[in-house]
Chains A and B, each alone.
Chain A
Amino acid sequence: MEKLLEEFSLGLFVWQSLLFIGLLLLLRKFAWTPILDSINERESSIKDALSSAEKAKEEMQAVQADNKRILQEARAEKEALLAEAKKTASEMINQAKEGAQSEADKIMQQAQEAIQAEKEAALKDLKTQVADLSLDIAQKVLQDELADEKKQTALVAKLLKESKL
């Protein structure tokens, strides 16, 4: 300990303290502050760059997702439109079909009615003509038959037999 104290030089101590404090202050002003500031600045700029890259990536992803969504929406819309169009078309076709059917039915009915009427008219006409013809024939037959007495009596008998009262 005594040796240590003997070795201790006040002059050197004072000079050391002065020099060191001077160096400390000078370096703080001219070296450490700018150095540490630059390093911090650089670090923060790297951090910023990284985070902005991350952000850009996220934005990109968002845009991509958006695009996908829009595409999907468009597709869905297209499909909906197509389905609707198909539906309308088939509806129209059905309607047309139905219309045509009913029209056809109507025409058929009318035709049938007309045919029926014609038929009936024809039948009526035929009936009258048959009646006239049969009357004619009957008249002629009767005129011919009734000229002979015997034949008249035979006929009457025959008729009576047939009529079954």
Chain B
Amino acid sequence: MGIAAKRLHLHRILDEMKNAQLGLYSRAIAVALSLLFTTPSLFANNSKETDSSTTDGISKKEEIKAYIRHHLEDAYDFSLFSYTSEDGTHHYIGAPLPIILWDEGLQIFSSSKFHHGETVAKVDGKYYALYHNKIYRTDAEGTIVYDADHHPTNVKPLDFSITKGVMSMLIICLLMFFLFRSLAKSYAENGGLPAGVGRFFEPIVLYVRDDIARPNIGEKHYQKYMSFLLTVFFFIWFLNMFGLTPLGINVTGNIAVTSGLALLTFLITNLTGTKDYWLHIFDPLGSSMPWIAKIFLYIILIPIEVLGIFIKPFSLLIRLYANMQAGHIVLMSLIGLMFIFKSWIGSSLSFGLAFAISLIEVLVALLQAYIFTMLSALYFGFASEEHEH
């Protein structure tokens, strides 16, 4: 099968880049050091090398593109890095994760059965194969049948696998729970003052309360939204930061995750909406003009307001998704550039750029968490408003 061969090829590049990603910092130091001591002859030598490798330049670009796409997607195993040994076999360092499928019954098996997408998994007499990072039911050979638009027509079982993203969220959840539990405990043990790492997080909790929740929601109602705002803020921030580690996780840049978060904002906003909130949507002009005049305006206004209910959380999910996705794409592309240039100048330049972008991404990680929380608070503020129109 062509697919299997391609997959194998892809994996070889993946290995290379994954290793590169892990070794980014050590390599960077090496590059920086050698830049200090290099002579012009070294540059000449390297440029000759690049000349010889231009023939596979285009395929390299394709490979990098594929790698970035692969990185942005969720994965069925938690691989740290992989390498190809002398005899050409792949070695993956990482852990397989459980696959949970609903296919006329619950199917639970380890993702190691796929052998990183290279083989077909046989479970309870059914065969499953990975195709474009999705699980399809196939026959024993892993045949994928396509329709006219080249979309697979194979049965796609409901997939509730513990993927890399879910695993990352689980880790972050545990981390957050123990972190803030210890902060909560430290108050009791330390006479009302935070201790340890809580000293760092308490001001942030206070910031969320005093500068996000209070001014946007109001003194009267802010308390009931605090748990959500704090959780969502730290959840997004931690996941964003987790995504910047060399583990290569992209959870907040996943549309399913951001829509889950935005859906909660949507539900909380509309379920806690007061009479004034709904009046504002369905009677925005109030008693400022006679009802006859309002009818014509409301034909336009009400659909806009109703649409607004959905657009607000939708903008939240797209903003977070796009920002994190874009950050990862830019970073990965810059890292990829090092392998395209393969020269001391170009690679070190793109390394410098990648480093600078990483620093910006650290800021973006916090900024996006702040924006999501801030806008959620703003929407909650609309929902709990109580004033005369």
Q: Which residues of B contact A138 (CB under 8 A)?
A: none
> Can you name the residue of chain B whose Cβ is closest to the Cβ of A4?
B255
Interface size class of B (residues with CB under 8 A): 35 or more
Are the C-beta atoms of A20 and B184 separated by less than 8 Å? Answer: no
Q: Which residues of A contact B8 (CB under 8 A)?
A: none
Question: Any chain A CB within 8 A of the CB of B80?
Answer: no
Are the C-beta atoms of B259 and A8 separated by less than 8 Å? Answer: yes
A42 vs chain B, min Cβ distance (A) = 5
Are the C-beta atoms of A12 and B165 separated by less than 8 Å? Answer: yes
> Can you name the residue of chain A whose Cβ is closest to the Cβ of B185?
A34
Are the C-beta atoms of A23 and B231 separated by less than 8 Å? Answer: yes
Question: Any chain B CB within 8 A of the CB of A81?
Answer: no
A12: which of B163, B170, B184, B264 is its contact (CB, 8 Å)? B163
**Bound Cα distance A23, B232 (Å):** 10
Secondary structure call for the A interface: helix
Contact digits for B199-212, partner A, Cβ 8 Å, 1 yes 0 no: 00010011001000
Question: Any chain A CB within 8 A of the CB of B31?
Answer: no
Are the C-beta atoms of A20 and B231 separated by less than 8 Å? Answer: yes
Contact digits for A13-27, partner B, Cβ 8 Å, 1 yes 0 no: 111110111111011
Q: Which residues of B contact A13 (CB under 8 A)?
A: 256-257, 259-260
A47 vs chain B, min Cβ distance (A) = 14
Given contacts A31-B183, A35-B187, are A10 and B256 in contact (CB under 8 A)?
yes
Are the C-beta atoms of B256 and A8 separated by less than 8 Å? Answer: yes
A residues in contact (CB < 8 Å) with B: 4, 7-17, 19-24, 26-28, 30-36, 38-39, 41-42, 45
Q: Which residues of B contact A31 (CB under 8 A)?
A: 177, 180-181, 183-184
Are the C-beta atoms of A14 and B160 separated by less than 8 Å? Answer: yes
Q: Which residues of B contact A9 (CB under 8 A)?
A: 74, 159, 163, 254, 256
B146 vs chain A, min Cβ distance (A) = 15
Contact digits for B166-191, partner A, Cβ 8 Å, 1 yes 0 no: 10011001001100110111011000
Are the C-beta atoms of A30 and B176 separated by less than 8 Å? Answer: no
A7: which of B100, B162, B230, B255 is its contact (CB, 8 Å)? B255
Question: Any chain A CB within 8 A of the CB of B291?
Answer: no
Given contacts A12-B256, A27-B231, are A36 and B159 in contact (CB under 8 A)?
no
Max chain B Cβ within 10 angstroms of own Cβ: one of A4, A19, A20: A20
**Bound Cα distance A4, B325 (Å):** 12
Are the C-beta atoms of A10 and B231 separated by less than 8 Å? Answer: no
Taking CB atoms and an 8 Å cut-off, the chain B residues in 199-244 that contact chain A are 202, 205-206, 209, 223, 226-228, 230-232, 235
**Bound Cα distance A17, B264 (Å):** 8
Q: Which residues of A contact B22 (CB under 8 A)?
A: none
B residues in contact (CB < 8 Å) with A: 73-74, 100, 158-163, 165-166, 169-170, 173, 176-177, 180-181, 183-185, 187-188, 192-193, 202, 205-206, 209, 223, 226-228, 230-232, 235, 254-257, 259-261, 263-264
Are the C-beta atoms of B177 and A26 separated by less than 8 Å? Answer: yes
Max chain B Cβ within 10 angstroms of own Cβ: one of A4, A11, A21, A42: A11
> Can you name the residue of chain A whose Cβ is closest to the Cβ of B191?
A42
B255 vs chain A, min Cβ distance (A) = 5
**Bound Cα distance A30, B74 (Å):** 31
Q: Which residues of B contact A15 (CB under 8 A)?
A: 160, 162-163, 165-166, 169
Q: Which residues of A contact B259 (CB under 8 A)?
A: 8, 13
B173: which of A7, A22, A36, A45 is its contact (CB, 8 Å)? A22
**Bound Cα distance A22, B74 (Å):** 22
Count, A-B residue pairs, CB within 8 A = 122
**Bound Cα distance A20, B226 (Å):** 15
**Bound Cα distance A20, B168 (Å):** 12
Interchain residue pairs A-B with the least CB separation, the first 8: A31-B180, A38-B187, A28-B227, A16-B260, A34-B184, A13-B256, A12-B256, A11-B159
Are the C-beta atoms of B170 and A19 separated by less than 8 Å? Answer: yes
B339 vs chain A, min Cβ distance (A) = 26
Are the C-beta atoms of B159 and A10 separated by less than 8 Å? Answer: yes
> What 4 new A-B contacts, CB under 8 Å, besides A8-B255, A19-B170?
A10-B159, A14-B160, A19-B166, A32-B227
Q: Which residues of A contact B165 (CB under 8 A)?
A: 12, 15-16
Given contacts A10-B159, A36-B226, are A16 and B257 in contact (CB under 8 A)?
yes
A61 vs chain B, min Cβ distance (A) = 31
**Bound Cα distance A26, B259 (Å):** 21
Are the C-beta atoms of A23 and B176 separated by less than 8 Å? Answer: yes
Are the C-beta atoms of B230 and A32 separated by less than 8 Å? Answer: yes
Q: Which residues of B contact A24 (CB under 8 A)?
A: 227-228, 231
Are the C-beta atoms of A27 and B160 separated by less than 8 Å? Answer: no
